[in-house]
Amino acid sequence: MPTQSLHIISKLHHWLKSEFIQKKFLGPWGIVPLILLAVAGGALAANNLFLVPIAAGTALLAIIIVYYCLFHPLKGFYIVSFIGFFVFYPNHLLGRDVLPLNTGLEILIIFVFFGTGISKKSGIIREQGLSKTFISITLFLITFYIGLQALNPNVYGLGGWFTAFKRSIVFVLIYVTAYRLIDTEKKFIYFVRFWIIMSLVAAFYGCLQQWFGYLSLEMNYIRNIPGAYEILNQGGQLRKFSFLADVVSFGVLAGCMALFTLLLAINEKNTKRKIWLFIFSIIMALGMAYSGTRTVTIIIPTGLALYCLLRIKHRTTLVTLFLAILGAIAVLFAPIYDNATLNRIRSTFDAEDPSLDV
């Protein structure tokens, strides 16, 4: 029975690939739907129903993405990762959270996971020893623990629990999917480059928001959410979230990737790549600073100190440590008191700040 099911899936895959990928919608099964879609879209637009053809076009695009998720899971994984960076931005431009794009992204993640299962059955992907690693066991135990909280009598309402449990399940699916797909050194290097580029784009856009201000559409989004403006306004300056969900997500991404690219730059042998990695790290560090996320502000020096402790004998590490100490002294003790970003960073190391007790 599994063999027959796999045979049907394989035939469907070859038919879809032939009609829509190889023929590029130029076959009968591709031209007819496009003609019908164009005629229907024009008729609906003429009757002021603009959203219907837009929805139909979006549905067609979604079908193509689902195809890649199921039958080319590695490409689907990168497509979904790319979408994940921008999934919240349309709502920012619309002024309120009206599009359930986050739910759609979670559905695509499930399709990619199923796609890796199909490839695994066909022998394309092999999975060995995943459940035996310490990280896997820890992640599975945390997810199981969150699931058990549904039985906790002290949990008031299951709405908050379901959101946390669903997010934990999605993390597990992403983890297993990445383990199955990123299985060679070449794939891992490509994945790291992809993540650095996307993080750099997010950080650079956050810097643009700081230097030129939020777009008017983004300001409408901030004002339409109760309490959002008051939370973002710190010291007379609005914290920046780039095109991500919130300032915390942006700050964690930019800060962690700033540290990551800095460590790559320290160990890079090629001078040109080393310089570019240092530039990337600076841009991401600026994005982190503009987000005002103090949790990451304290993580960066901690992570750098741990790295220097482990590799203290290397000359490059000593130079980096010296420059990092000079930079920290400049940020913390420079006689500049009217800069909201610097004041926010300095407040991270204020022992009298009540937020440090959290």
Mean pLDDT by 10 residues, the chain (358 residues): 55 60 59 67 60 67 85 91 91 83 88 84 63 86 89 77 88 91 90 94 94 90 87 85 89 92 88 92 92 84 85 79 82 79 76 58
* Cα gap 237→234, rounded to integer Å: 5
* Cα gap 164→150, rounded to integer Å: 11
Q: Which amino acid is at 8?
A: I
pLDDT at residue number 30: 60
* Cα gap 40→53, rounded to integer Å: 7
Residues 132, 93 contacting (CB under 8 angstroms):
no
Residue ranges per structural domain of the chain: 1-125, 126-183
Give the side-chain half-sphere CA count within 13 A for 252: 6
pLDDT at residue number 33: 66
Best CA proximity match to 80, nearest among 143, 174, 171, 165: 174
Q: Which residues contact 352 (CB under 8 A, 6 or more apart)?
A: none
For the whole model, what pTM was predicted? 0.80
Q: Which stretch of DSSP H or E encloses residue 237?
A: strand 237-238
